[in-house]
Amino acid sequence: MSEYQSAISKLNDRSRAILREIVDSYIATGEPVGSRNLARVLPMALSPASIRNVMSDLEYAGLIYAPHTSAGRLPTQSGLRLFVDGLLEVGNLSAEERGKLEAQIAVRRSKPLDQVLTEAGEMISGLSHCAGVVLTEKQVARLKHVEFVMIEPTRALVVLVDEDRNVENRLIDVPAGLPPSALIEAANYLNAHIRGLTIAEARSSIDAELAKSRAELDQLTQKVIKAGLAEWSGVHDDRKSLIVRGQANLLKDLTAIEDLERIRQLFDDLETKRDLSQILGLADQADGVRIFIGSENKLFSLSGSSLIVAPFRDGERKVVGVLGVIGPTRLNYARIIPMVDYTARLVSRVLT
């Protein structure tokens, strides 16, 4: 039992019902709700005075707060988390919604991976009315061919082609005086061992093969092979591909200059990919949807946004990326959680 589920079990029926209505009202309108309005919608007969007593207890527990004197109440971040973990009734996508998603993803099987992921981000943004985000390692496609081309006495160009017909070029340092035959031998060796593998798989496989084949390859050729793979298999920020679609949705319903400043900060964070590896790492640890509310993820602590993401996997069930939505903390969690989960599962099917 999680911390929040344990906390929920300690609330009585009145407290649960009132917290649920306060959160539901906040998600629907963004406005505080008072005891009189709550009395009209609660499933039980309670006077405004009784409701105010319960609200006082919830406020003392740090689950709701009054934005200003004599106002109604709004949920705190802890209150939202308690609601999501313990009170939320997640809906199911309708057969029609599932059919639309399946049809849109299915027609993309023949397209390059980057295009599939971009369109998935656009699709989930349009359905959720939030910003769609996709984060993945740049090379999740299977490799097809590699070539080395000498361009300077100590520099060579590595040309990598994957099965989606994407081509990437990188410069690597090579030892001075390297004979052209070493580049040809390195390319031949790699092409005999990497076809059909991802970069991560190729790096692991080649490291093992080189350990067994040192007598077959001279040291210069081995250095070229390792340098060529290392250029793509590092863990730097530019190794990650970030796709964000529908940013304009985040500008809706802003009520103050400070709200606009928070969204500007979010855009800056996304543009610089700050701390995005944390998202991928956290999603990698989960089987399904992960939800980050406000400052729970330092990437969005300044912008006050929520993030709902789910991992997608390749044919070997390895997590190769995450997709989801970014929006205000008053997201329609019940609708968006199954949407993100199902879209991630569909993308996984495309990658198998």
Q: Cβ atoms within 10 A of the Cβ of 104, count?
A: 16
Q: Are residues 131 and 259 in the same domain?
A: yes
Q: Are residues 179 and 134 in the same domain?
A: no
| Last residue within a domain, chosen from 65, 87, 109 | 87
DSSP 183: H
- Indicate the average pLDDT of the chain: 80
250 or 276: which leads in pLDDT: 250
CA 297 to chain centre: 12
**Range from 317-321, 332-336, 342-346 carrying the lowest mean pLDDT:** 317-321
What is the tens place of the pLDDT at every residue in 160-169?
Answer: 888 877 777 8
Q: Are residues 78 and 106 in the same domain?
A: no
Q: Report whether 304 contacts 332 (CB < 8 A).
A: no
247 or 347: which leads in pLDDT: 347
Average pLDDT over residues 334-348: 91
Residue 154 lies in a domain: yes
CA 48 to chain centre: 42
Q: Cβ atoms within 10 A of the Cβ of 183, count?
A: 22
Q: Are residues 133 and 251 in the same domain?
A: yes
**Number of structural domains the chain divides into:** 3
Q: Are residues 201 and 292 in the same domain?
A: no
Give every CB contact of residue 14 below 8 A, 6+ residues apart in sequence.
44, 46, 50, 54
Q: Report whether 196 contacts 120 (CB < 8 A).
A: no
Q: Report whether 279 contacts 135 (CB < 8 A).
A: yes
Q: Are residues 244 and 193 in the same domain?
A: no
Residue 129: give its domain's CATH number. 3.30.450.40
pLDDT (0 to 100) of residue 235: 40
CA 158 to chain centre: 30
Q: pTM for this one? A: 0.69
Q: Are residues 111 and 161 in the same domain?
A: no
Q: Are residues 113 and 170 in the same domain?
A: no
Residue 235 lies in a domain: no
pLDDT beyond 50 at 154: yes
What is the tens place of the pLDDT at every residue in 170-215?
Answer: 888 888 888 888 889 888 988 988 888 877 778 778 877 777 766 5
pLDDT beyond 70 at 109: no
Q: Report whether 129 contacts 249 (CB < 8 A).
A: yes
3-state helix, strand, coil in the chain (%, to 5): 50, 20, 30
Average pLDDT over residues 309-320: 82
Residue 318 lies in a domain: yes
Tokens of 158: 């590595």
What is the tens place of the pLDDT at every residue in 32-71?
Answer: 999 999 999 998 889 999 999 999 999 999 999 998 877 7
DSSP 93: -
| Last residue within a domain, chosen from 209, 230, 251 | 230
Residue 202: give its domain's CATH number. 3.30.390.10
Q: Are residues 252 and 339 in the same domain?
A: yes
What is the tens place of the pLDDT at every residue in 265-284?
Answer: 677 666 655 555 566 555 65
Q: Are residues 43 and 108 in the same domain?
A: no
Residue in 164, 169, 183, 182 with CA at minimum distance from that of residue 231: 169
**Range from 63-72, 93-102, 103-112 carrying the lowest mean pLDDT:** 103-112
**Range from 73-87, 103-117, 148-162, 185-199 carrying the lowest mean pLDDT:** 103-117
pLDDT (0 to 100) of residue 246: 83
Domain span holding position 63:
3-87
Residue 324 lies in a domain: yes
Q: How far is the C-alpha of 160 from the C-alpha of 4, rounded, in Å?
A: 48
Residue 215 lies in a domain: yes
What is the tens place of the pLDDT at every residue in 205-249?
Answer: 887 777 776 656 777 787 788 777 776 555 444 556 778 888 778
Tokens of 77: 């971040």
Q: Are residues 133 and 215 in the same domain?
A: no
| Last residue within a domain, chosen from 172, 203, 230 | 230
Residue 322 lies in a domain: yes
pLDDT beyond 60 at 159: yes
Q: How far is the C-alpha of 281 from the C-alpha of 17, rounded, in Å?
A: 35
Q: Are residues 40 and 79 in the same domain?
A: yes
What is the tens place of the pLDDT at every residue in 16-25?
Answer: 999 999 999 9
Residue 62: give its domain's CATH number. 1.10.10.10
CA 78 to chain centre: 22
Question: Which stretches within the chain are classed as H helix?
Answer: 3-9, 13-29, 35-41, 48-60, 77-82, 95-106, 113-128, 180-193, 199-212, 219-230, 257-272, 276-284, 333-351
